Amino acid sequence: MSSKKKKNVEHFKPLKAYNNPDFLNSPAARTVRVMTEMVEPADRFRRHNVWNTVVFFGSARTLPKSEAEQKLRESKSKLKHKPSSKKLRAEFEQAERDLIMSRYYEDASQLAEKLTTWFDETDTQNRRFLVCTGGGPGIMEAANRGAKKAGGHSVGLNISLPFEQYPNRYQTRDLSFEFHYFFIRKFWFFYLAKALVVFPGGFGTLDEFFELLTLIQTGKSKKHMPVVLYGADYWNKILNIEEMAKWGVIDPADLKLFKTCNNVDEAFEYLKKEITKHHLKPFAKARRNRKK
């Protein structure tokens, strides 16, 4: 072949696998995608010195009090003009319930604010505590909002869903994550958690509560994990765990794996006492022993 013809030859350079978007988004690379949702958050948590969290669970549909009041006023006005409408009557009754439930949005925000203020006071090397949520609206937004109001950072473990879930604006941007896989998201909820606070919620909240409670019950987790079931008025109507113990499907001692609280101060004092006893004091003692 002449030198002139050689100059016209096109060289083919194949893509490296990690630069090939068709492969990375294919079923064959699912394991790779799972691993990235393990490794990237681990690296980011390490770089931001995040080792301990208090996780807030709860409904994505719970409204702030101001929004619930506005929704009720609008619904009441519509019903006034068409009092015989069954649809408007149902919307009005739901708006009334939304206003009642808005109490939990306000409580979640206040509790997260109090905890974040206390975390700032107790912040020491490798004992930095942050509020952590699922990153979306409702109770999640409330907790991130309370942490921000206290001047602190907070974590948002967002999940990609076709509805309901979008990142709220109160989570710390550098600690805001977007997951595709529910099971990896649950891992990060539990791995760093030193306490759980479960506000009123639906299927997702119950799923998270019972899965993590099962890990505690079965001893898969060796760390002490206080669990607050917040809102007796709601949970006493939704759950009857005492009946499980009565019928022998759980041990009576399992009823002590969580504590039901009905106001911010009660929940805060309980969490403060448990975290101090099981996570702050042992760490301080170990540091003193190392210095001797």
**In this structure, which CATH number among 3.20.20.80, 3.30.365.10, 3.40.50.450, 3.40.50.720 belongs to the domain 49-62+103-282?**
3.40.50.450
What SS3 class is residue 152? Answer: coil
The pTM of the whole model exceeds 0.85: yes
Evaluate if residue 283 carries a pLDDT over 80: no
Cβ contacts of residue 110 below 8 Å, gap of 6+? Answer: 146, 264
Evaluate if residue 27 carries a pLDDT over 70: yes
Kindly state the average pLDDT of the residues 18-27.
92
Taking CA atoms, 200 is separated from 86, 206, 235, 262, in Å, by 27, 9, 7, 11
- Report the candidate in 221, 275, 274, 208 with the shortest Cα–Cα distance to residue 57: 208
Q: Are 147 and 183 in contact (CB under 8 A)?
A: no
Q: Per residue in 54-77, pLDDT tens?
A: 999 999 999 999 999 999 999 999
pLDDT of res. 161: 83
For the chain, the domains span 49-62+103-282
The helix-helix angle for 182-191 and 203-217 (nearest 10°) equals 50
For the chain, give the percent of residues with pLDDT over 70: 91
pLDDT of res. 289: 58
What SS3 class is residue 89? Answer: helix
* Neighbour tally for 120: CB within 10 Å: 14
